Structure 1
Amino acid sequence: MSADEQSSQSTIQSVGAELAAIRQAQNMSVNDVAYRLKLTPRQITAIEQDDFASLGPIFSRGFVRNYARLLQLDPQPFLDAMQAAPVNPVEALAIHDEQIALTGSLSRHWLKLSLLALLIVIALPLAVYQWLRADDAPKAASPAHNAAPLASPPAPKIAPAPAAPAVEPPTPAQPAPPVSVAVPPTAPPVSIAVPPTAPATQAEGSGHIQINFKQDAWVQITDASKRRLTSRIYRAGETAQLTGEAPFRAIIGNAANVSMTYNGKPVTLTPRPGTTVAHLTIE
């Protein structure tokens, strides 16, 4: 090592103070240096205060080297002075403690997130199961509820016909002149009016359609379940009897020569303008 280098190294008592003094001599601010070195002002202040522990030993040497070159100085004496400076064990221990505290905080944070995710995984399937059970309960009770109206009423009891009164034969008379005996006429047969069997109760929502045709006409009718009740051409004089679940959708061709009733009530068939076809919904 030359005498000049020994002299330069011996005069550098504080790397940060030396760099700060030369910076001020060149009329540069901390922000100017931070901008040109792509660092933050806090990092430049740490260098000038010899706080290399907060920057890390490897990064701080690179920062000092670039700082010295920015000031057009030889960086080697500054690096040698940094190497010769003693390391403060208290600061190193403090940095180590901060790292441990940071790690513990992150661990607690991830533990909370893990517990929250576990609760969601358990609660979500239970909620879906309860929702599906509640949705299926009304469907299971529906068939029993709907089957009651379809039961046929009991057949009416027919009272037996009263027996015809017995006619006692006349007592034979003593021999006498022939006498004409008036025998009452035989009782006419008793006519028992049997009431007609009560028709089955009409299912709720069902209806009866009757169509009479004065001329040939095409008809298509579907019920509420989209079941096609008829789709054909009827001839003049025919009558169609249809039963299904309302509402009905009907298309009637040659509507002017067709008459319709729904549950005994007449239905108006109005063709669309410019056509002979009527489209209607029967409820």
Structure 2
Amino acid sequence: MEVNQQVSGMIDELVGEPLGEQLRKAREQKALTVREAADSLRIMPYQIEALEQQDFSVFKADVFIRSYLRNYAGLLGLDPQAILDQYQQKHFVERVIPIVTRPKSVQLPCKKRYVGVVAVLAVILLLWLINRELPQIDKAAQLQPLVEVEEQILSLGADSETEISSLASEDLAAPTNALIAGDYDTVAVAVDVEPIIAEAVSSAAEHRLELNFSAECWVEIKDAEGKTLIADIKREGDNVVVEGAAPFNVVLGYAPAVVLSYNGEAVEINTNTRTQAARLVVGRS
């Protein structure tokens, strides 16, 4: 980047007056301050300064640079096409800009989905606690009647088959009938599911950012996974609401024009005093 600027400066010295110097002198001849020129074009003062200093790296895309140069040249009474041609020849650097799809401002029906998730978690936990607390049936108690029947069979003679069958049937049926009749202790389990529900709702819920704009400003917001939720220029009166996983990485081109809130609470924006821009992370626990 520094090499390109040095080459650009050498060309300006050999060919003629630098582009930025032309803009600055024309503005001063019209007795306009940087703020007045910015207000006339409805852009930020730091963008006027960047054009006059030929610091085109502050702009997100070449289309913005050309638009601002054309409008600024027209305001100052210069030939817009000549200014654009000079920019193309000496300063244009091709940049690949990712295509960003602007998210629709749609409120998703999340509440029903979260209630269903919480209900399933509560039922699973309740079943697990009940199964853990139920008494285990003593296997030795189940086998005891069989041992007694075997001993009685050995003590009887071979001619007592009918009596043996009757005895075995009665003894074997005893534990089964006891189980069918429900002859075991009933365990009552009290489960407090409110903390579980609160935790599930907290982890599943998406977080919300709201931005209100009083002037033109570039805004870029990415969620915790690095997904770009919005990357666009907003103007006076615009309102933007985005939802996603926190924390959010927020970049503002002109921070004084933005009022920001996170989950309904106001967020303080620390602004760069030189560029009037801001970069912040919102929702970090």
| TM-score (norm. length: structure 2) | 0.30
Structure possessing the higher relative contact order (Cα contacts under 8 Å, 6 or more residues apart):
2
Choose between structure 1 and 2: higher helix proportion: 2
